[in-house]
Structure 1
Amino acid sequence: MHALHAVHPSATLDALGGSHVDVADLEAAFPGLTTDGGEFRAHLKLAALAIALKRRVIIVQGVEAGQSDDEANPFENFVRSLRDDQQRIADLESRVENILRRLSALELRSPKRLIDKVMTRKQVDNLLDTSYRLRALAPTHSTTSPSSDMVIEIEKHSDGTLLVFPARAC
């Protein structure tokens, strides 16, 4: 993986300098970005899966926090835990979307070595294809879920245990 990309994708974008980027520089910074099924797209899919999994895990963690032996109200612990975890997920999604938005706004330029030369039809096609792929990043891989109210039903048993039913949209 490219050294800049390993640091942080936002820093990598900053290092590319400006909104006009050479395709070769972009591919070097984000391997697989300009092709289907590349390394970048694999990382993007893994991030989406990790976020979806975390959304499911926070319910279990919230129940665990609600059942702790803390003297405070278990339901308040449950709600606080859900809210804190949800905020962390929202922050992560926001960072991912910011990177995708910045990538999709990039304007590609022909390779520096071809500036004074005529480009072949294949080079023009590749430049256009890459440009279209970049534009498609923002709407295709948007991870933010719409803000909607969710209902989580909880049943407390006489032995003190809680049964949490699957969340559903209102």
Structure 2
Amino acid sequence: MPQLILASSLIHLPIASLKQEERVGAVAQLLIDDESCKILGLLVSTGFARDCKFIAFDDITSLDSSGVIIKSSNDIGDINDVVRARSAYKKRINLVGMRVRTESKKNLGKVYDYAVSMTYGLVMQLMVSSMFHNRIIPRSKIVSITKKSIIVEDDSLADALVAPEAA
């Protein structure tokens, strides 16, 4: 089983370069491919420019709850230079806050966090909050991601794990 980390714990983490041996930025946001439900990379806050900077997931050497390591600051590029990343960025997909519905349009709640595989960059679980329950919905139940909602299989309600209350 891949090691998982909550997406919320990655935001604002420092990004360090092995070559320069220094901090080169911080994680601003995770960039999600809505078709594969995979992390394409990280949007980077460098503190210098207002331009949107990007690190591809494949350029990350190490990722854990204390920070992100890349080989070189040269791995940080302009998001407009990577066609797939630019396309995903323009869609403005942010899983947190998205509604989760079944294929038969039953509302299950909203995503309050999600777990990603630190090894493969896949979204593995959705943490979904509704008025009376919090649920963990596994990746295997995700049918599609639209601009406004995440569609899951109709049997997701039965298969979802009841999670502890969101903080």
Query: Whose strand proportion is higher, 1 or 2?
Result: 2
Same structural fold, with TM-score higher than 0.5 when normalized by the shorter chain:
no
Which entry has the higher C-alpha Rg, 1 or 2? 1
Using the size of structure 2 for normalisation, the TM-score is 0.22
Query: Whose helix proportion is higher, 1 or 2?
Result: 1
